[in-house]
Amino acid sequence: MHILKSRPWNLPESQVTPESLVFGRRKALALGAGMLGAGPAMAQQSGLPPAMRNTRYPPGRTITPEHDVTTYNNFYEFGSHKTISAAARRMPQRPWTVKVEGMVESPREYGIEDLLRRMPMEERVYRLRCVEAWAMVVPWTGFQFSALMAEVKPLSSARYVVFQTAVLPSVMPGLRQTWYPWPYTEGCTIAEAANELSFMVVGAYGKLLPPQNGGPIRFHQPWKYGFKAGKSLVTIRFTNQRPVTFWEKLQPQEYGFWANVNPAVHHPRWSQAQERMLGTGETMPTLLFNGYGEFVADLYTNLQNERLWA
Ligand code: MTE
């Protein structure tokens, strides 16, 4: 197992933060905080609770323009193409309930506003690498998944977490494509879910998360291909059964359960060695674990017999 000793990038924060976010950055620096962000005033206008930027995870690349992130999407419930943003905006975002169930001590049903109020919000600038070889860098607002785990208390017998997307036929035309195994279901091991990088996303660019990006709530594990990041979640289930996930069910020879980013393991139909940045179109080398090996490589040291990379 290849374990990265240091981050494979080395850009100072000043080269990462775009002009539009520098104001918030200066403000936080002036406060002497170790975390940067847009600050409470801006957050309140947006409907998001105050969230400071956590600088522990420098993305090493320039933040992708918001317009590109919010208009080029994968959300098959709204169509199997990238221009689903207008259709997705028809999906009501309130009221919204997320059930946390299965092998936990305290199953819960959260209204989204309740979750926003009670979870420790922060902003993280994370890279996202789609299995289709495009990539982006986004300032997400949300909370570490482990905070939710601490509330519901998984039983020691729970081994996996399963994430399920809403099924709303009246606004999701893609559901009529009945050959897809709806609902969109994703999952990971408990250890992966408890990793500090695993993040529940409720906002982007200092605003509530737009429906096309998975509003009001989606998951994100930045070291895995983007298809692992279930959008518009309604159920989070703790179980001892490994789920067969959406793409795995559809094309098991191309997509698996683990889906960790690896430049050396190619998709059967294209290379994974390079990635194209949304917005600039720049081509860059793909990084092992999408550059997050320092945080996650240890999760896989005893799993050499698993198909970890597709
Ligand atoms: N979640 C659902 N419910 N439906 C989807 O089609 N697509 C996935 C993932 N989550 C998808 C989903 C894929 S393939 C990617 S790359 C990311 O969402 C894209 O997220 P974005 O549109 O915010 O870039």
Distance CA 159, CA 188 (A): 9
Ligand 1 pocket: which of 69, 74, 141, 199 to mutate (most atoms <8 Å of CB)? Answer: 74
Nearest to 147 by CA among 188, 107, 195: 195
Distance CA 123, CA 21 (A): 12
Burial of 33 per CB tally in 10 Å (0-12, 13-18, 19+): middle
Residue appearing with tokens 């096309």: 212
Per-residue pLDDT 10s for the chain (310 aa) are: 333 444 444 444 444 444 344 334 433 333 333 344 444 444 556 789 999 999 999 999 999 999 999 999 999 999 999 999 999 999 999 999 999 999 999 999 999 999 999 999 999 999 999 999 999 999 999 999 999 999 999 999 999 999 999 999 999 999 999 999 999 999 999 999 999 999 999 999 999 999 999 999 999 999 999 999 999 999 999 999 999 999 999 999 999 999 999 999 999 999 999 999 999 999 999 999 999 999 999 999 999 899 999 8
Cα(75) to centroid(ligand 1), Å: 5
Q: Are 26 and 184 in contact (CB under 8 A)?
A: no
What does the pLDDT read at residue 45? 62
Dihedral angle, C-alpha 148, 54, 218, 61, nearest 10 °: -150
Task: Give the CA radius of gyration of the chain.
Answer: 18
Burial of 115 per CB tally in 10 Å (0-12, 13-18, 19+): buried
The pTM of the full predicted model, rounded to 2 decimals, is 0.88
Our answer on whether the CB atom of 75 is closer than 6 Å to any ligand 1 atom is yes
User: Could you tell me how many residues make up the chain?
Assistant: 310
- pLDDT tens for 212-230 read 999 999 999 999 999 999 9
Q: Are 231 and 213 in contact (CB under 8 A)?
A: yes
Query: What is the residue with the minimal CA distance to atom 22 of ligand 1?
Result: 73
- Residue 16, CB-side half-sphere exposure with 13 Å CA sphere: 21
Cα(156) to centroid(ligand 1), Å: 30
Which ligand 1 atom sits closest to the C-alpha of 134?
16
Q: What SS3 class is residue 186?
A: strand
Nearest to 212 by CA among 20, 49, 67: 67
What does the pLDDT read at residue 46? 77
Our answer on whether the CB atom of 230 is closer than 6 Å to any ligand 1 atom is yes
Cα(34) to centroid(ligand 1), Å: 32
Cα(44) to centroid(ligand 1), Å: 27
DSSP state of 204: E
Distance CA 15, CA 75 (A): 31
Our answer on whether the CB atom of 185 is closer than 6 Å to any ligand 1 atom is no
Q: What does the mean pLDDT of the chain come to?
A: 89
Find the angle CA(1)-CA(238)-CA(99) to the nearest 5 degrees.
Answer: 135
Our answer on whether the CB atom of 77 is closer than 6 Å to any ligand 1 atom is yes
- pLDDT tens for 19-29 read 344 334 433 33
Distance CA 100, CA 161 (A): 10
Our answer on whether the CB atom of 229 is closer than 6 Å to any ligand 1 atom is yes
- Residue 148, CB-side half-sphere exposure with 13 Å CA sphere: 31
Cα(108) to centroid(ligand 1), Å: 25
